[in-house]
């Protein structure tokens, strides 16, 4: 099923009418969810857990939506769809903080072209719903470079011009012009943050070239680091990632290269694979999650074998792990990037991949507890990867005009 989110930005007049309309549209859905949630709370009350002890006579004059405790609002949220959650935020603004604190996604985002404008579709890996976002203001041809916190880093003009785009709020932030083609680009934080750095690493036979641009910079900066004694740093398929303020990248022989923007220095950990069986000929994904740096290795035949490692800071070595600490990871192949969530609708310690099975809307995932790849019931084992697609977390926050200026 496909649902079109045709217009996100509204004029004040339209917003007034739309809010009323949305209240009517979601009232039945929210009412049923609220009834179910309050029934659950009644059961808690019967067992001695009353969450309405703070009720006062003055509350009779307040809308019922403002009287519900946050935990009941959260229970309602879990019982309604993604689109209804978006409408609820307009209909009941007081619930926005609870809705935003527990994001619904991520979704698999895809782009394609059917005459202007460029279309963006997001797919729900659990409910199998598809949502169409109208990409107002996007150039005709763009490519996805990376994603983080609901923002896409996109390129135009054959990887020479870059900009950030939020497909949910339709906010766009241009980066300074660049004369070179840049591949394997990544960024450290949301582009509205003063800590945001956009970075590219190029690895040659005798040197490493770092190209980066910090929030507030009007041009890109280049640094060169020689590789002494012919100690090459040959990278494999995978991604670079920022972790605790530094950019990390894995070499083909297992070395771990680290660039520190604060000191503009580059150094290499020569033996991070000490004590583990080094997988060969695969794709390495790095992901920062919580206070940890994880490495997800997938064999080159794509998701027939998966290994997960966590960086041990005492010796700067990888240790194989069977747990993500309850988190879920979401791996994208085109481009190479990975998202992490603390919780995902009751799922724990799973890794989802950006490819659908022949069964439309179903996704293969790796379960760390069972140590195996899980195919949805009825799905055929063969599956398809999507180009120009990635996992993305919904972010409806629209930055101010000042925040949309990079420098």
Residues of the chain where predicted confidence (pLDDT) is lower than 70? 1-62, 89-90, 100-103, 112-118, 135-137, 139-141, 157, 229-231, 274-280, 300-303, 355-362, 376-388
Distance (Å, rounded) from C-alpha 241 to C-alpha 188?
A: 8
Is the backbone peptide bond immediately before 106 cis, with ω within 30 degrees of 0? yes
Give the pLDDT confidence score for residue 1 in this predicted structure.
41
Does residue 29 contact residue 84 with C-beta atoms inside 8 Å?
A: yes
CA–CA separation, 371 and 182 (whole Å): 37
> What is the pLDDT at residue 189?
95
Hey, how many other C-beta atoms are within 10 angstroms of the C-beta on 111? Answer: 23
Residue 326 is predicted with a pLDDT of 92
Cβ-count burial of 209 within 10 angstroms (0-12 exposed, 13-18 middle, 19+ buried)? Answer: middle
Domain extent listing, the chain? 2-101, 107-392
Ramachandran sector of residue 98 (left: φ over 0; alpha: ψ -120 to 50; beta: rest): alpha
Helices and strands (H, E) in the chain, number of each type: 4, 27
Q: What is the pLDDT of residue 79?
A: 75
> Where does 64-105 show beta strands of DSSP type E?
none
Specify the pLDDT at position 133.
Answer: 79
User: What pLDDT does 404 receive?
Assistant: 95
- 182: tokens are 């840049």
Q: Looking at domain 107-392, which CATH architecture does it have?
A: 6 Propeller (2.120)
Q: What is the pTM of this model?
A: 0.81
**Residue 114 neighbours by CB distance under 10 Å:** 7
Average pLDDT of the chain to the nearest whole number: 78
pLDDT at 286: 93
pLDDT (0 to 100) of residue 323: 93
pLDDT tens-digit series, residues 94-137: 777 777 666 677 888 877 654 555 678 888 877 777 788 776 66
Extract the tokens encoding 4: 């079109």
* Tokens standing for residue 122: 């997001």
What confidence tens digit (pLDDT) does each residue in 204-241 have? 888 899 999 999 999 999 999 998 765 678 887 789 99
pLDDT of amino acid 76: 80
Q: Reduced to 3 states, what is the DSSP secondary structure of residue 87?
A: helix
Do 324 and 289 contact (CB within 8 A), yes or no?
A: yes
């Amino acid at each position: 099923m496909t649902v079109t989110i045709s217009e996100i930005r509204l004029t004040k007049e339209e917003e007034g009418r739309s809010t009323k309309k949305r209240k009517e549209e979601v009232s039945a859905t929210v009412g049923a969810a609220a009834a179910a949630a309050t029934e659950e709370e009644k059961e808690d009350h019967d067992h001695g857990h009353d969450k309405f002890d703070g009720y006062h006579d003055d509350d009779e004059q307040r809308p019922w939506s403002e009287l519900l405790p946050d935990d009941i609002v959260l229970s309602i949220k879990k019982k309604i769809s993604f689109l209804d959650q978006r409408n609820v935020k307009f209909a009941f603004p007081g619930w926005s903080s609870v809705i935003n604190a527990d994001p619904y996604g991520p979704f698999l985002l895809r782009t394609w072209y059917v005459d202007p404008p460029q279309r963006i579709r997001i797919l729900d890996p659990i409910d199998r719903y598809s949502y169409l976002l109208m990409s107002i203001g996007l150039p005709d041809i763009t490519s996805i470079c990376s994603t983080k916190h609901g923002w896409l880093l996109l390129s135009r003009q054959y990887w020479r011009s870059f900009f950030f785009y939020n497909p949910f709020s339709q906010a766009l932030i241009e980066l300074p012009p660049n004369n070179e083609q840049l591949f394997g680009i990544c960024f450290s934080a949301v582009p509205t943050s003063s800590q945001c750095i956009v970075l590219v690493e190029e690895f040659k036979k005798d040197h490493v070239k770092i190209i980066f641009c910090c929030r507030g910079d009007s041009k890109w900066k280049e640094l060169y680091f020689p590789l002494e004694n012919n100690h090459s740093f040959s990278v494999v398929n995978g991604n670079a990632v920022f972790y605790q303020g530094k950019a990390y990248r894995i070499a083909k022989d297992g070395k771990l290269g680290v660039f520190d923007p604060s000191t503009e220095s580059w150094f290499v950990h020569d033996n991070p694979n000490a004590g583990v069986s080094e997988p060969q000929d695969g794709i390495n994904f790095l992901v920062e999650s919580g206070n940890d740096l994880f490495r997800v290795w997938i064999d080159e035949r794509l998701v027939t074998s998966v290994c997960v490692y966590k960086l041990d800071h005492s010796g700067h070595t990888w240790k194989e792990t069977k747990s993500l600490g309850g988190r879920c990871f979401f791996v994208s192949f085109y481009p190479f990037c990975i998202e992490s969530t603390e919780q995902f609708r009751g799922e724990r310690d799973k890794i989802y991949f950006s490819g659908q099975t022949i069964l439309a809307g179903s996704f293969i995932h790796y379960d760390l507890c069972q140590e195996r790849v899980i195919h949805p019931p009825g799905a055929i084992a063969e599956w398809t990867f999507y180009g120009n697609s990635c996992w993305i977390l919904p972010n409806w926050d629209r930055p101010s005009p000042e925040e949309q200026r990079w420098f």
